[in-house]
Amino acid sequence: MKRLLTGLEAAGRSLLLYVAVTAFLLGAGILRASREMVHAFDTGIYLQILSSLKAAWATNGIQGILDLQSWASSITGENTFLAHHFQPVVALLLPLYSVFPSTSVLFFSAWFALGLTAIMLGIHSASLRAARSPGDQSAGLAADAAGPLFICLFPAFAARLYFGFAPDVLAVPAFALQAILVNSIVSRGAGALILFAAAQLWAGACKEVFWIINGWAALVLALRLVGAGRRSAAMVAFVWGLAQWALFFWLFLKWMPEHSQHSRYYGLNYIDFKLTALLQTNWGAVLELLLAAGLPVILLRPTWAVLLSLPGLAIVILGRFSQIQAPTAVYPLAFAPFFAVILTENLAVLSGWRWRLSRLLLGAALAAGMILQMPLFLRSVSPAFGKTAAALPVDLAVARKSIRPGAWLLVDGNLQPAFQDWQHVRVILGFIGNPAPLGAEDFKRATDVLTMFDLDQLTSCEEVKPDASDDWAARGVPFHDYEGFQRFCKWLRAVPRQKQVYPDSGLVHYHLN
């Protein structure tokens, strides 16, 4: 009973801390969503998929959800988005989305997943402190706050509350639980193995590449069980890990390419198996990321969970695009939950000078995290408080009323999330490789164009071109498809059209005759 009360008390403290620290971040995300200012194109993709699933559920129930055509995304040019990223967990957001069909639902889902992780880490810290011998000095309640604070302030976590959504964030509690169980499996029974497997199934449903991390974690677990003399359980864990790797390679190399409409499967663009990838890595960005992730604290007392983080770290380090190494991107979510568990445990069990040093290093990591995400926060949140930006939702609401449900829309990427109920939405100035570039069929079928860019202000379509600030992967590789935009610009100038400009926001609506 006492143990239960201690756990409930720790959960309450962690929840209060999490709510207090993240209230402003989540509020900023909801404000941006209410003003149609969520520019992360991924968010619009998931809103479109949820809208499609909602219609399929209303028509055919569970069969509609299971129909791959219900997962179509016009933005990526896929008949089924699951061939783009295998993320069936998105369907579980459907009940909430059906009641509140907005971007705020996605931010709240991320907030809930991270909050669950913060509570889990607070309870874990309190249980570790309670298990210490009476002769040890208590690490204090500050130790219980280490994990929840890291969940609140690490850039990759915090940005999911105000900038953009990705289902990757829903795997965070599952990864954290795996790390806790691997570190403490020696003292746990068979129920812990079932819980471990359930956490892995959940994480795998959040992204196809997470099956690699799951398989590796299962192999590390097997090694731990062998050391504890539990060889039968170790063999089960070993086979389970290999099965997950086999599932990943079947998904990634066979099922997904077979169901993809791209000439070269999209996912392969993000993997570089050559050793030269290490020479192209932005090591300065990686170092910043690791410092903000608390690596110095982890080095004071590495645990088995460090091994679990290695595949996620490899994904970040070997990524071909510098965006992958950004601390506010979704990619650090592949290793940061494991770091969060180690930070929590170290602050709870270290003593003497190592404990005092760990507090200082954690404080430095949290400060670094806030500094690294400040440019993104100011750039994405501050316009939401401006008077001009406030007119944009009103203008979009008017534009939406003038567009029929079956219209074929060409829109700016930042406007795309506002048209989640339209199933034929394509992005004008597309990102390289994602979303899919505009083609002849898009120009042929287009009925409306919505953009914040008035083409009549250009002397020539070639004026819009990349500059030195627009490199993404490497020098000379632009972030946007400028050649595609120039083709679009020339096409739009040549076709009959009616133009409406909304002076308050600058939104331009071209209705094609």
Cis peptide bond upstream of 134, omega within 30: no
Residue 269 pLDDT exceeds 70: no
Q: Residue 476: what pLDDT? A: 60
Residues 6+ apart with CB under 8 A from 468: none
Residue 219 pLDDT exceeds 60: yes
Residues 6+ apart with CB under 8 A from 246: none
Residue 273 pLDDT exceeds 50: no
Residue 375 has which token pair?
């440019």
Q: Residue 276: what pLDDT? A: 56
Map 47-104 to HEC letters: HHHHHHHHHHHHHHCHHHHHCHHHHCECCCCECCHHHCCCCHHHHHHHHHHHHCCCHH
Please tell me the least confidently modeled range out of 57-71, 320-334, 489-503: 320-334
| Domain boundaries along the sequence of the chain | 2-126+140-375, 388-512
Q: How confident is the model at residue 484 (pLDDT cuts 50, 70, 90)?
A: confident
Query: Are 479 and 431 a contacting pair, CB within 8 Å?
Result: yes
Tens digit of pLDDT for each residue in 422-450? 989 999 887 766 677 888 889 999 999 99
Q: Residue 138: what pLDDT? A: 47
Q: Residue 106: what pLDDT? A: 95
Share of the chain above pLDDT 90, in %: 55
Q: How confident is the model at residue 135 (pLDDT cuts 50, 70, 90)?
A: very low
CA distances from 259 to 110, 254, 442 (A): 28, 9, 21
Tens digit of pLDDT for each residue in 75-132? 888 889 999 899 999 999 999 999 999 999 999 999 999 999 999 999 999 888 877 7
Residues in the chain: 513
CA distances from 357 to 147, 151, 298 (A): 16, 20, 11
CA atoms 85, 88, 92, 97: torsion sign: positive
Residues 6+ apart with CB under 8 A from 449: 409, 410, 411, 428, 492, 497, 508, 509, 510, 512
Alpha carbon dihedral 148, 104, 77, 319, in 10-degree steps, equals: -20
Average predicted confidence (pLDDT) for the chain? 87
Please tell me the least confidently modeled range out of 4-13, 232-241, 408-417: 4-13
Q: Residue 185: what pLDDT? A: 83
Q: How confident is the model at residue 365 (pLDDT cuts 50, 70, 90)?
A: very high
Q: Residue 77: what pLDDT? A: 82
> DSSP character for 386?
S
Query: What distance in Å separates the CA atoms of residue 257 and residue 254, rounded to the nearest whole number?
Result: 6
**Between 146 and 5, the higher pLDDT residue:** 146
Tens digit of pLDDT for each residue in 341-363? 999 999 998 888 998 899 999 99
pTM score: 0.92
